[in-house]
Amino acid sequence: MKTTLLVAGLAVAGALSAVPAQANETPKHGGTLTYLIPADAPPSFDGHREETYATVHATAPFYSVLIRVNPENPASPTDFVCDLCTAMPKPTDGGKTYTFKIRQGVKFADGSPLTAYDVAASWNEITFPPQGVLSARGTDYRDLIAKIEAPDANTVVFHLKFATAAFLPALADPFAYIYEKKILDDPTKGPHWYEKNILGSGPFVFSGYQIGQKITGDRNPNYYHKGLPYLDHIVGIFAPKQATRVDAIRSDRAAIEFRGLPPSARDQLKQELGNKITVQESPWNCGSDLFFNEKKKPFDDPRVRRALSLAINRWGGAPALSKIAIVKTVGGITFPGSPLAATKSELQQMAGFWPDINKSRAEARKLLKEAGAEGISFELLNRDVDQPYKYVGIWLVDQWSKIGLHVTQRILPTGPWFAAMRSGNFSVVHYPICHAVVNPLLDVQPYLPASAENMGGTPDAQEMDMYNKMLHETDPTKQHAEMVAFEKYVMDTKAHATQIIWWNRIVPYRSYVKGWKISPSHYINQDLSNIWLDQATVSQ
Amino acid sequence: MYRYLVNRILLVFPTLFGAAALVFALMRLIPGDVCLVRLGSGGTSFSEQALQACHAELGIDRPWLVQFGQFLWGMLHFDFGISMWSGKPVVDEIASRFPISLEVALIATAIAVVLAIPLGTISALKQNTWIDLLVRTVSIAGIATPSFWIGIMAILIVLDLTQWIGGHPWMPPIDYVSLWKDPIRNLSIVALPALTVGYRYSAVSMRMTRSAMLEVLREDYIRTARAKGLLEKIIINRHALKNALLPVITVVGLEFAFLIGGLVVTEQVFNLNGIGRLMVLSVQNQDYTLTQALVMVVVTIAILANLVVDLLYAWLDPRIRLK
């Protein structure tokens, strides 16, 4: 009940911030939206192979997906709707089979009809990529899906290996673009063709790309969601430097940047432009995680790991940090907006989340003394990215000093940072992980002992058993209890890893941009079909 | 002169080979690789299988010697391969950015030369007067201030000024358009970066012109010219300035070569998608093929600029070519 209330509360809070005085406004057609993509350029256009928002922000408007997070309610972690399908199916075969009926009359930008064969071919390419084709999320899907087939031109069937609540959120992945089967099957083109070419059936039709400079699209006149999109044209400008993006919004060179800006940029734009700027904020499905190298002394001792977590004053630090960094919400390893997340009272039973920080730090000192690790010195491995990596890193160093530890930061660029983790050349690492659709059953996988992220982890059969049980559970109440137990085990009992503070997404934009609703992820709700421009309020 | 030229050109090849070996080794000595950055930089999780597939696809699981051999062989054929980050031909990646950097470099050089030579000369001629003091202050400020900071300040000043005057803040466009497609928009994009870079560039050249002129003006042949009763204008233009320009040409040549690949931060500040920004991106992404190609392009330009400087030297000073 408490969980339901918390989720409802977060959803309402998200919805309130997501609908800034738009209830009675009538959308207008036309205009060009110029938006900023905070990256240099996507490595490729292929959503199936890439992991970066640079690809999604540049190409999502040109593609359709099978199902998606409800664009009218993206703050909800459980509201999924059809994009290409006609109705969300009820699973059969004990929850192991999902049958989707596909819309008729949908066309790709080249005029070819889109059928269930295209949907099945795309999902087969994502899940079971042929030799030499990279699918970034293929392993996740292969763990769940046994077979995908299209028995006729209107039907796609997913056969799962077992019934699981993780499937539908995974299916709503924003990278899972539907490609043309004939291109995927063409030996002269194949899946690699989509790395450099864009051909979809989304709300916009690709019209041009200047490498690392901008990507443009025009309204798709044949779009199957009637009346959409509202915009005639879109222009996405790549602008990696934050100062440039803020100046561009200020001078109206661009109207919006969808990833998110820090509090200082929000405050600056609001101060300079007043009501010409609207701000939407949302808890962000990116956590600032802390992993310990359990293969290295003294971090092989759970008491030391617990002590490090106990020293961090999350409840006290979050409000202050949120004024300068893109972090805000205190939570466990499950996204705080999810029905599976621990409630505040459940969370406060776990190490590092106790309401009394003095008691918590006294316990930390006691544990360090017992483990013979009083006053130890170590390095916190961190990534050379300002927000929020370095802010959180500096704060952690200060927090640990409160229990007499001497910690310094080792800040490395992305490549060397990963290399240091993979080679085990670290003691403790600050490793924020972002997820797209809120899907806690898959999102907690980085904490498993064998995961690619948990590079200092050691085998733990009990943790794997707990995880597998939870993954196969279909009763939401039981699943919640199992997830809380899993969180307690990971962050407290064994203290393999812990969560510090969840990120906070802040999107300040020109007030004439309407219809866009913030979500807990910068990957989702990016097809721009429901955005419209209130030209009367355009200032130039 | 011909032998001098041949000797200079022959030196180009060992220099290029040395640069190739150095950049190849240095890139691979940096921990991590392009696949780790590509799969993990967005903050999402990835599997070991995905990483291995990426390594195999890009060929970075092969021995270094094989990779170096391929790099050299490709260079001999002017084929720099495919960018490991974007999958596009390296030549296309560079070609799309080169005009932007070249345009900024050319305009900045023109600004620098137009400002530096007259002001440096006047400063020397009016040594220790208020004019000299003003020129020296301006030039020292230019040397001391990083051009990216000047760039940031320039944008903020333009934004504030336009807001104050017209009520709406204005900044140069941030999406590049070529000079041939829309000259006005193009110039409004490159003018501010070229001015900020040109100012710093001119400050260095101005100091060099001034000190070279002061030295030359104390030479015996200038005294002789004055004793012969030549007009001061002729003494300055024909005898003093021509000789004083020798070190200035060196500075201008080297700075020009630097500008092609060195406008790293300035290009970021003005969102110019040039060679400098591409260089940073390729190093950050650990894109071996692109970084190698970019370094070779910049090295080649530096060598060519040096060659042109040497030839100008020989042309301006007969003693050099006669040696």
**Per-residue pLDDT tens digits for A257-273:** 999 999 999 999 999 99
Mean pLDDT of chain B: 87
- SS3 for A273-299 is HHHHEEEEEEEEEEEEEEEECCCCCCC
Higher pLDDT among residues B24 and A131, named by residue: B24
pLDDT band at B260 (very low <50, low <70, confident <90, very high): confident
The residues, ordered by sequence, that sit 6+ positions from A133 with a Cβ below 8 Å of its Cβ are: A49, A125, A190, A191, A192
- What pLDDT score does A456 carry? 80
- What pLDDT score does A337 carry? 85
Mean pLDDT of chain A: 92
Residues 183-222 of B with CB under 8 A from A: none
Q: What is the mean pLDDT of residues B233-251?
A: 86
- What pLDDT score does B177 carry? 87
Give CA torsion, residues A335, A341, A344, A345, to 10 deg.
-160
Pick the closest to residue A454 from A431, A480, A485 (CA basis): A431
Distance from CA of B274 to the nearest CA of A (A): 9
Whether A10 shows a pLDDT value over 70: the answer reads: no
The residues, ordered by sequence, that sit 6+ positions from A375 with a Cβ below 8 Å of its Cβ are: A404, A405, A406
pLDDT band at B9 (very low <50, low <70, confident <90, very high): confident
pLDDT tens, residue by residue, B71-90: 889 888 888 888 988 888 99
Pairing of strands A277-292, A256-257: unpaired
pLDDT tens, residue by residue, A168-186: 999 999 999 999 999 999 9
Nearest to B47 among A52, A139, A244 (CB): A139
From start to end of A87-166, where are the E strands? Answer: 97-101, 145-152, 155-160
Q: What is the mean pLDDT of residues A332-356?
A: 95
Domains assigned to chain A = 32-255+512-538 (3.40.190.10), 285-504 (3.10.105.10)
Whether A201 shows a pLDDT value over 90: the answer reads: yes
Which tokens belong to A104? Answer: 């008729």
Distance from CA of B88 to the nearest CA of A (A): 8
Best of B35, B55, B82, B86 to mutate (most A CBs within 10 Å, chain A): B86
Distance from CA of B141 to the nearest CA of A (A): 24
- What pLDDT score does B323 carry? 55
Which tokens belong to A176? Answer: 């899972």
Helix, strand, coil shares of chain B, percent, nearest 5, are 80, 0, 20
Q: Please give the Cα distance from B153 to B161 (Å, whole number).
A: 12
Q: Which amino acid is at A93?
A: D
By CB neighbour count within 10 A (0-12 exposed, 13-18 middle, 19+ buried), where does A84 fall?
A: buried
- What pLDDT score does A12 carry? 39
Supply angle C-alpha A127, A128, A134, rounded to 5: 85
Q: Where are the alpha helices (DSSP H) in A83-156?
A: 116-127, 138-144
Determine if the pTM surpasses 0.80: yes
- What pLDDT score does B46 carry? 66
pLDDT tens, residue by residue, A399-421: 999 999 999 999 998 888 888 88
Nearest to B269 among A195, A241, A286 (CB): A241
Q: Please answer yes or no on whether A211 and B97 come within 8 Å at the CB atom.
A: yes
Higher pLDDT among residues B147 and A323, named by residue: A323
Q: Please answer yes or no on whether B46 and A539 come within 8 Å at the CB atom.
A: no
Q: Are B1 and B303 in contact (CB under 8 A)?
A: no
Whether A233 shows a pLDDT value over 50: the answer reads: yes
Q: Please answer yes or no on whether B174 and A53 come within 8 Å at the CB atom.
A: no
pLDDT tens, residue by residue, A97-124: 999 999 999 999 999 999 999 999 999 9
- What pLDDT score does A18 carry? 42
Whether A300 shows a pLDDT value over 70: the answer reads: yes
Higher pLDDT among residues A17 and A227, named by residue: A227
Q: What chain A residue is nearest to B285 in terms of C-alpha separation?
A: A415
Write the DSSP assignment of A353-408 as a string of letters. Answer: --S-HHHHHHHHHHHHHHTT-TT-EEEEEEES-IIIIIHHHHHHHHHHHTTT-EEE
Q: Are A502 and A287 in contact (CB under 8 A)?
A: yes
Residues of B in contact with A415 (CB under 8 A): 30-34, 36-37, 284-286
Higher pLDDT among residues A30 and A43, named by residue: A30
φ and ψ at residue A410, rounded to 5 degrees = -115, 105
Q: Are A126 and A135 in contact (CB under 8 A)?
A: yes
Higher pLDDT among residues B203 and B257, named by residue: B203
From start to end of A384-512, where are the E strands? Answer: 406-412, 428-430, 433-434, 497-510
Which tokens belong to A407? Answer: 């910690």
A20: three-class secondary structure by DSSP: coil
Interchain CB contact of B128 with A (< 8 Å): no
**Percent residues over pLDDT 70 in chain A:** 94
- What pLDDT score does B85 carry? 86
Residues of B in contact with A451 (CB under 8 A): 45
Residues of B in contact with A59 (CB under 8 A): none
Higher pLDDT among residues B48 and A340, named by residue: A340
Q: Which amino acid is at A121?
A: A
pLDDT tens, residue by residue, A309-335: 999 999 999 999 999 999 999 999 999
Q: What is the mean pLDDT of residues B171-192?
A: 90
Residues 268-287 of A with CB under 8 A from B: 272, 286
Best of B34, B163, B165, B273 to mutate (most A CBs within 10 Å, chain A): B273
Strand partners of residue A532: A514
- What pLDDT score does B311 carry? 79
Q: Which amino acid is at A180?
A: E
Task: Work out the widest C-alpha separation in chain A, in whole angstroms.
Answer: 71
Best of B26, B41, B82, B161 to mutate (most A CBs within 10 Å, chain A): B41
Whether A501 shows a pLDDT value over 70: the answer reads: yes
pLDDT tens, residue by residue, A433-455: 899 999 999 999 989 987 767 77
By CB neighbour count within 10 A (0-12 exposed, 13-18 middle, 19+ buried), where does B158 fall?
A: middle
Higher pLDDT among residues A357 and A11, named by residue: A357
Domains assigned to chain B = 95-322 (1.10.3720.10)
pLDDT band at A59 (very low <50, low <70, confident <90, very high): very high
Residues 3-62 of B with CB under 8 A from A: 30-34, 36-51, 53-54, 57
Higher pLDDT among residues B150 and A2, named by residue: B150
Q: Please give the Cα distance from A10 to A5 (Å, whole number).
A: 9
Nearest to B47 among A240, A434, A452 (CB): A452
Q: What chain B residue is nearest to A269 in terms of C-alpha separation?
A: B169
Q: Which whole-number Å values give the CA distances from A161 to A145, A472, B49, B301, in the listed order?
A: 6, 10, 21, 59
Angle between helices A476-488 and A461-472 (to 10 degrees): 160
Best of B174, B176, B269 to mutate (most A CBs within 10 Å, chain A): B174
- What pLDDT score does B237 carry? 86
Interchain CB contact of A40 with B (< 8 Å): yes
The residues, ordered by sequence, that sit 6+ positions from A235 with a Cβ below 8 Å of its Cβ are: A32, A33, A34, A35, A214, A215, A216, B175
Higher pLDDT among residues A217 and A539, named by residue: A217
- What pLDDT score does A266 carry? 96
